[in-house]
């Protein structure tokens, strides 16, 4: 053996070893894995920026989402500062439309739609609505799904069989059909869209929770709790639920982009929020009709929707890898 | 095997009836009436129309009449879109183009997805691998109307390579853009699953055994890796099929394809309940049939699952 391959152990080496084999808490470990994932970190920034803009932009904007100014319709995007560079300067085919319509004092960052409504304001109001619908639907899903899964898995036997048959029938209806039918029956509106989305949304969650409960319920710590006389409710919520939290959070995060997509889909087939309320989906639906002549009208909501979906998907991917390394996709 | 298939099929048939019942009740118990000019009609006229359409009978009786007619291929008539037109005619004249686009997108998506996934798994940490990852993230995250929009703007509008909207004079060329837009999600998910699954199969113990007994690499991959990879790829085909259905609505609307999806949208918007009911039911049946097919395929490929479910 060559002596040069060896060296004395220094403080640095021990520190490194300690760092590598340190007994970090679960949360710290998960955070470490998450931050190491570049895509996930970027997605957090994207989501935060979009949410902030959705909250702030409509407040700061001089226009309201429903102000119809038909004399200023179909204005192309114009942004102060950038207009000097020759982009977003309010020109269409070389003609400054703002000058033509004597609106040179106005700046519509994303342009205006065919009724002269400011698209910048509408996009961020629409983002609010889309996020609200997705958030509400998913929260209710979690609530129903978790409890359903816990009860079905924990009690087992006949309860489980009956509850599983119900989910089986519900899940053999395509979600699209249920959601559309519910809206045909109930008429589209903010609450009804949320209700329609949550009717089948909880099934996936309940399945995952049930599988987790089945995994834990025969383990020693549950038996110990039962021996000590803990009630069923105590065992379910205090012993089993905390162990399934990781899975619940992951499923929760993955269902947000799904709900955003379903809302956009509904709006696209004409079952969106009623006008003049805007959601990303309804704006895409409106803009689509004139997408070839005024592409900017549909571009703004499409880009925000795409960023939102990408952001949430990458974020959930990162979160899953961090929370549950076993599920990590190689 | 026979017992397994029969049992699965029986469950599916029962589910179909339960679903038809639920759909029928849902649409019939709701308030309002199927006639859109109710205010102008006298009570006698309404009564007459109800008798004409058989709406004066109790709901349960109507359900069985509907079921009986449906088993004979009669889905009732349209109330609003084309008055008194048999729905079966409306549906069947439109089913062809929807199925064509769906099948094309499904096959194209699965093939390209498999190819991308296999290449990425065999050449990990190369350009191909990164490309596949980017495609799969984009394809899974972006809704199909984004792709439809991009395709129709660039290939249809700017460069005029394909018709912007569906043109019945050239049906094949017209389905190119809808097919691509629809297949993106399939490509992305199949590529992703194939890659993940192949990598985990290649790391397994039985692969080490097969390798150490001296199998040539091609045979190793074809007969061991691919075959085991297929099992999990087939499981993701069900959600993909659902997505093809959802996507077909969007894509048909985006490209004005005269298919089942656009009829569904028209029916929803004009409250034509009978048409909505019929198409919802057709979608559900296709969905259940696909699940049954996957269950059976699964039983053939992996006997452990069949035994567990028997």
What DSSP string describes chain B? -HHHHHHHHHHHHHHHHHHHHHHHHHHHSSSS-S-TTGGGS-HHHHHHHHHHHTTTS-HHHHHHHHHHHHHTT---B-SSSSTT-BHHHHHHHHHHHHHHHHHHHHHHHHHHHHHHHHHHHHTTTSHHHHHHHHHHHHHHHS-HHHHHHHHIIIIIIIS--S-SS--TTSHHHHTHHHHHHHHHHHHHHHHHHHHHHHHHHHTSHHHHHHHHTT--HHHIIIIIIIHHHHHHHHHHHHHHHHHHHHHHHHHHHHTT--SHHHHHHHHHHTT-HHHHHHHHHHHHHHHHHHHHHHHHHHHHH-HHHHHHH-
CA of B138: which chain A residue's CA is closest? A310
pLDDT band at A48 (very low <50, low <70, confident <90, very high): very high
**Confidence check: pLDDT of B217 > 70:** yes
Q: Note whether residue A212 is domain-resident.
A: yes
In this complex, the residue of B269, B273, B291 whose CB is nearest that of residue A172 is B291
Can you tell me the distance from the alpha carbon of A89 to that of A77, in angstroms, rounded to the nearest whole number?
7
**Confidence check: pLDDT of B247 > 70:** yes
**CB of A170 closer than 8 Å to CB of B26:** no
**CB of A109 closer than 8 Å to CB of A75:** no
Would an 8 Å CB–CB cutoff place B199 in contact with chain A?
yes
The reported pLDDT for the residue numbered B34 is 59
**Confidence check: pLDDT of B48 > 80:** no
pLDDT digits (tens, 9 = 90+) for A266-308: 888 778 888 778 888 888 888 887 777 787 888 888 888 989 9
**CB of A47 closer than 8 Å to CB of A312:** yes
Can you tell me the distance from the alpha carbon of B56 to that of B138, in angstroms, rounded to the nearest whole number?
52
Superfamily the domain B88-270 falls into: MetI-like (1.10.3720.10)
pLDDT digits (tens, 9 = 90+) for B255-293: 888 888 888 888 887 777 788 888 888 888 888 888 888
Burial class (CB in 10 A: 0-12, 13-18, 19+), B218: exposed
The reported pLDDT for the residue numbered B111 is 92
**Confidence check: pLDDT of B302 > 80:** no
The reported pLDDT for the residue numbered A49 is 93
The count of other CB atoms within 10 Å of the CB of residue A12 is 8
**Confidence check: pLDDT of B307 > 70:** no
Distance from CA of B153 to the nearest CA of A (A): 7
Number of independent structural domains in chain A: 1
Do the Cβ atoms of B149 and A291 come within 8 Å?
Answer: yes
**Confidence check: pLDDT of B13 > 80:** yes
CB proximity under 8 Å: B 83-142 to A: 137-138, 140-142
Q: What is the CATH number of the domain that holds A227?
A: 1.10.3720.10
Can you tell me the distance from the alpha carbon of A115 to that of A121, in angstroms, rounded to the nearest whole number?
14
pLDDT digits (tens, 9 = 90+) for B117-152: 999 988 888 888 888 888 888 888 888 888 888 888
Do the Cβ atoms of B273 and A184 come within 8 Å?
Answer: yes
Distance from CA of A151 to the nearest CA of B (A): 23
The reported pLDDT for the residue numbered A203 is 87
Which value, to the nearest 10 degrees, does the dihedral of the CA atoms of residues B161, B162, B164, B167 take? 140
For all residues of chain A together, what is the average pLDDT?
Answer: 82
The reported pLDDT for the residue numbered A329 is 43
pLDDT digits (tens, 9 = 90+) for B71-111: 887 777 777 777 777 888 888 888 888 888 888 999 999 99
CA of B24: which chain A residue's CA is closest? A181
CA of A312: which chain B residue's CA is closest? B141
CA of A261: which chain B residue's CA is closest? B143
Top pLDDT among A228 and B171 is at A228
Do the Cβ atoms of B199 and A330 come within 8 Å?
Answer: yes
pLDDT over 90, % of chain B: 6
For all residues of chain B together, what is the average pLDDT?
Answer: 81
**CB of B15 closer than 8 Å to CB of B288:** yes
Q: Note whether residue A106 is domain-resident.
A: no
**CB of A251 closer than 8 Å to CB of A258:** no
Q: What is the mean pLDDT of residues B185-195?
A: 89
**Confidence check: pLDDT of A330 > 50:** no
Q: Note whether residue A98 is domain-resident.
A: no
pTM to 2 decimals? Answer: 0.81
Do the Cβ atoms of A184 and B27 come within 8 Å?
Answer: yes
Can you tell me the distance from the alpha carbon of B240 to that of B229, in angstroms, rounded to the nearest whole number?
17
Q: Note whether residue A101 is domain-resident.
A: no
**CB of B262 closer than 8 Å to CB of B256:** yes
pLDDT over 70, % of chain A: 92
Q: Note whether residue A20 is domain-resident.
A: no
The reported pLDDT for the residue numbered B32 is 58
Top pLDDT among A183 and B107 is at B107
The reported pLDDT for the residue numbered B241 is 76
- The ipTM assigned to this model is 0.77
Do the Cβ atoms of B249 and A177 come within 8 Å?
Answer: no
Q: Note whether residue A21 is domain-resident.
A: no
pLDDT over 70, % of chain B: 91
Do the Cβ atoms of B145 and A176 come within 8 Å?
Answer: no
Closest C-alpha among A241, A73, A211 to residue A143:
A241
Residues of chain A with Cβ-Cβ distance to B272 below 8 Å are none
Closest C-alpha among A311, A253, A318 to residue A30:
A318
Going by the DSSP 8-state scheme, the letter that residue A91 receives in this structure is: E
Do the Cβ atoms of B27 and A264 come within 8 Å?
Answer: no
Domains in chain B: boundaries: 88-270
Q: Which residues contact A48 (CB under 8 A, 6 or more apart)?
A: none
**Confidence check: pLDDT of A60 > 50:** yes
Domain that holds residue A122: 28-74+112-328
Least confident of A1-15, A87-101, A212-226, B178-192: A87-101
**Confidence check: pLDDT of B252 > 60:** yes
Closest C-alpha among B69, B244, B67, B269 to residue B144:
B244
The reported pLDDT for the residue numbered B25 is 83
Q: Note whether residue A198 is domain-resident.
A: yes
Q: What is the mean pLDDT of residues A251-263?
A: 86
**CB of A88 closer than 8 Å to CB of A81:** no
E strand or H helix at A229: none
Q: Which residues contact A152 (CB under 8 A, 6 or more apart)?
A: A159, A160, A163, A164, A206, A210, A213
pLDDT digits (tens, 9 = 90+) for B26-42: 777 665 555 656 566 67
DSSP bridge partners of A91: A96
Closest C-alpha among B208, B173, B96, A273 to residue A284:
A273
């Amino acid at each position: 053996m060559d002596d040069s391959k060896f060296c004395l152990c220094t403080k640095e080496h021990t520190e490194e070893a300690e760092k590598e084999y340190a007994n970090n808490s679960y949360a710290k470990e998960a955070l470490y894995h998450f931050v190491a994932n570049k895509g996930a970190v970027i997605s957090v920034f994207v989501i935060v920026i979009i949410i902030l803009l959705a909250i702030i932009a409509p407040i700061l904007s001089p226009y309201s989402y429903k102000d119809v100014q038909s004399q200023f319709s179909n204005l192309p995007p114009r942004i102060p500062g950038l207009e000097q560079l020759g982009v977003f300067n309010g020109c269409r085919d070389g003609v400054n439309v703002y000058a033509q319509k004597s609106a040179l004092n106005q700046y519509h960052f994303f342009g205006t739609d065919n009724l002269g409504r400011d698209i910048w304001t509408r996009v961020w109001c629409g983002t609010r609505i889309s996020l609200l619908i997705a958030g509400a639907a998913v929260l209710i899903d979690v609530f129903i799904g978790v409890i359903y899964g816990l009860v079905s898995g924990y009690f087992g036997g006949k309860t489980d069989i009956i509850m599983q048959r119900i989910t089986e029938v519900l899940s053999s209806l395509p979600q699209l059909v249920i959601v559309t039918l519910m809206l045909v029956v109930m008429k589209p509106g903010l609450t009804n869209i949320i209700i329609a989305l949550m009717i089948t949304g909880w099934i996936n969650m309940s399945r995952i929770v049930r599988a987790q409960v089945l995994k834990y319920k025969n383990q020693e710590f549950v038996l110990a709790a039962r021996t000590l006389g803990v009630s069923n409710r105590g065992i379910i919520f205090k012993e089993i639920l905390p162990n399934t939290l990781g899975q619940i959070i992951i499923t929760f995060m993955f269902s947000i982009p799904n709900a955003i997509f379903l809302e956009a889909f509904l709006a696209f087939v004409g079952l969106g929020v009623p006008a003049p309320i805007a959601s990303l989906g309804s704006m895409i639906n409106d803009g689509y009709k004139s997408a070839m002549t005024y592409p900017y009208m549909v571009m703004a909501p499409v880009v925000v929707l795409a960023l939102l979906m990408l952001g949430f998907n990458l974020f959930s991917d990162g979160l899953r890898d961090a929370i549950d390394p076993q599920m990590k996709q190689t | 095997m026979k017992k397994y298939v029969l049992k699965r099929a029986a469950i599916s048939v029962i589910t179909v009836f339960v679903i038809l019942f639920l759909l029928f009740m849902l649409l019939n118990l709701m308030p309002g009436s199927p006639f859109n000019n109710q205010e102008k009609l006298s009570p006698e006229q309404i009564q007459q129309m109800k008798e004409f359409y058989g709406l004066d009978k109790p709901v349960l009786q109507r359900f069985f009449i509907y079921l009986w007619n449906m088993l004979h291929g009669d889905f009732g008539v349209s109330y609003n879109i084309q008055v008194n037109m048999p729905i079966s005619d409306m549906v069947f004249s439109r089913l062809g183009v929807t199925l064509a686009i769906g099948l094309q997108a499904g096959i194209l998506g699965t093939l390209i997805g498999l190819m991308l996934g296999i290449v990425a798994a065999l050449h990990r940490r190369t350009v191909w691998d990164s490309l596949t990852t980017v495609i799969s993230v984009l394809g899974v995250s972006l809704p199909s109307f984004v792709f439809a929009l991009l395709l129709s703007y660039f290939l249809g509008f700017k460069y005029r390579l394909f018709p912007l909207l569906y043109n019945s004079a050239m049906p094949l060329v017209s389905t190119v853009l809808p097919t691509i837009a629809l297949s993106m999600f399939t490509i992305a998910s199949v590529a992703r699953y194939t890659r993940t699954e192949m990598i985990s199969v290649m790391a397994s113990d039985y692969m080490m055994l097969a390798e150490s007994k001296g199998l040539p690499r091609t045979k190793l991959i074809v007969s061991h890796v691919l075959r085991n990879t297929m099992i999990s790829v087939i499981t993701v085909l069900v959600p993909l099929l659902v997505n093809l259905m959802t996507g077909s609505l969007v894509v048909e609307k985006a490209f004005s394809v005269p298919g089942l999806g656009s009829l569904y949208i028209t029916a929803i918007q004009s409250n034509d309940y009978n048409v909505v009911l019929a198409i919802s039911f057709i979608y559900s049946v296709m969905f259940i049939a696909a699940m049954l097919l996957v269950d059976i395929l699964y039983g053939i490929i992996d006997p452990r699952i069949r035994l567990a479910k028997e």
